[in-house]
Every structure is written in structure tokens, then in C-alpha cells.
Amino acid sequence: MILDAGAPGLAPVHDPVAAAVTAAGTAAVDTVLVGGRVVKRGGRLVGVDVDRARDLAVRAARHVTAHARTTSAR
């Protein structure tokens, strides 16, 4: 993982590990490699259809909500 050290919340970096763990949000992540493969570059996901993923998540949430059982507190 490569962080943008100039991202808001990270600068100035006195302790890089602490900054990465406690202050780095997703916007500070510039590049991510998984198993030697780049999955995020320049702050954007690589090879992922974000719109399709979002649509699937919305549809799944609607399905769960429609089929959820509600019980009243006793």
C-alpha cells in the first residue's frame, strides 16, 4: 500500500506507521498491490466496475430488507 503523505490528516508525518493506522482514510491510499497485482492506482480501483458493484450492493440490501423478519421487543 502506498499512501499520499500530503493528504489531509496525514501531513506532517512524524510517525508513518501511526499515521497509516490512525489517520489514513481511503482518500489517502494512492496505490494498493495484492499478490503482486495492482488493484488501486492513483486513488482509483483498477479492473473493477464500481457502478456494477454499487448496483449489486443496493439490490442485495433491498432483498435483505424485503425478506427480513421483524419482531417486537417483549
Q: Can you give the residue ranges of every domain in the chain?
A: 2-67
pLDDT value, residue 70: 58
CA neighbor of 17 nearest in space, from 34, 38, 1:
1
- Asked if the bond preceding 12 is cis, omega within 30° of 0, the reply is yes
Torsion sign, CA atoms 61, 64, 68, 73: negative
Pick the CATH number of 2-67 from 1.20.1260.10, 1.10.760.10, 3.40.50.970, 2.30.40.10: 2.30.40.10
pLDDT value, residue 13: 72
Q: pLDDT tens for residues 36-53?
A: 999 999 988 898 888 999
pLDDT value, residue 74: 45
Distances (CA, A) of 32 to 55, 61, 64: 24, 28, 31
